[in-house]
């Protein structure tokens, strides 16, 4: 769940008009290096040392934003900020993001059909679909768009069957 603070920082980041590649590169740096988060969150490390780390790792155009996050002790919500930024970026292009969890990866034709269905249902020009393998589903898939989950998995069907039987 996105916090108001993260949403506000994401709006500021989006309004800065940075290159998309710089923002994605920075998000990848954070996601790939949890030790970095610890360093930038640590109040016992001097600001000048944090600045040196930021200057050596991140693209120049986003360094000031990351310094502000450090100064305001908001590095701990940076993942939420980047996620919300991505949502704002997609919305600005009339796109939507979703997550498809599967046991067997759909082929390109099936993915195209799923994306077409999403575009049609949500009246969007495109879809950014995150694909995640999840063997716990047993078979089928789940599709998450915002807060809505479409469960077409064997696991989900069995859980619903269990609930139905429990009510009898």
Residue 34's pLDDT is 87
Look at 36 and 146; give whichever has higher pLDDT.
Answer: 36
Q: Give dist(CA 157, CA 161) in Å, integer.
A: 6
Q: Which residue in this structure is represented by tokens 């979703």?
A: 98
Determine contact, residues 167/122, Cβ cutoff 8 Å.
no
pTM above threshold 0.75 = yes
Q: Mean pLDDT over all residues of the chain? A: 95
Confidence category of residue 168, pLDDT binned at 50, 70, 90: confident
Domains of the chain are 4-89 (1.10.520), 94-167 (3.40.30)
Q: Give dist(CA 126, CA 112) in Å, integer.
A: 11
Q: Give dist(CA 62, CA 23) in Å, integer.
A: 7
> pLDDT at residue 117 above 90?
yes
Confidence category of residue 60, pLDDT binned at 50, 70, 90: very high
Q: Give dist(CA 122, CA 52) in Å, integer.
A: 45
For residue 16, report the phi and psi dihedrals to the nearest 5 degrees: -70, -20
Q: Which helix (H) or strand (E) holds 33?
A: none
Of 79, 97, 82, 70, give the one whose Cα is nearest residue 23. Answer: 82
DSSP SS3 for 107: coil
Look at 34 and 100; give whichever has higher pLDDT.
Answer: 100
| Pairing assessment for the beta strands 126-133 and 95-102 based on DSSP bridges | parallel
Residue 145's pLDDT is 95
Residue 74, number of CB atoms within 10 A of its CB:
18
Confidence category of residue 167, pLDDT binned at 50, 70, 90: confident
Share of the chain above pLDDT 70, in %: 100
């Amino acid at each position: 769940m996105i916090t108001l603070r993260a949403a506000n920082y994401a709006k500021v980041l989006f309004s800065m008009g940075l290159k998309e590649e710089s923002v994605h590169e920075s998000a990848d740096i954070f996601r790939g290096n949890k030790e970095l988060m610890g360093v930038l969150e640590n109040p016992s490390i001097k600001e000048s040392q944090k600045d040196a780390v930021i200057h050596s790792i991140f693209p120049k155009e986003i360094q000031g934003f990351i310094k502000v996050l450090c100064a305001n002790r908001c590095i701990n919500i940076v993942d939420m900020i980047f996620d919300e930024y991505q949502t704002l970026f997609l919305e600005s292009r009339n796109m939507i993001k979703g997550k498809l969890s599967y046991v067997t990866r759909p082929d390109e034709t099936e993915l195209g059909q799923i994306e077409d269905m999403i575009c049609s249902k949500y009246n969007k020009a495109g879809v950014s679909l995150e694909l995640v393998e999840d063997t716990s589903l047993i078979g089928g898939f789940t599709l998450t768009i915002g807060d809505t989950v479409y469960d077409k998995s064997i696991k989900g069907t069995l859980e619903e069957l269990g609930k139905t039987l429990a009510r009898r």
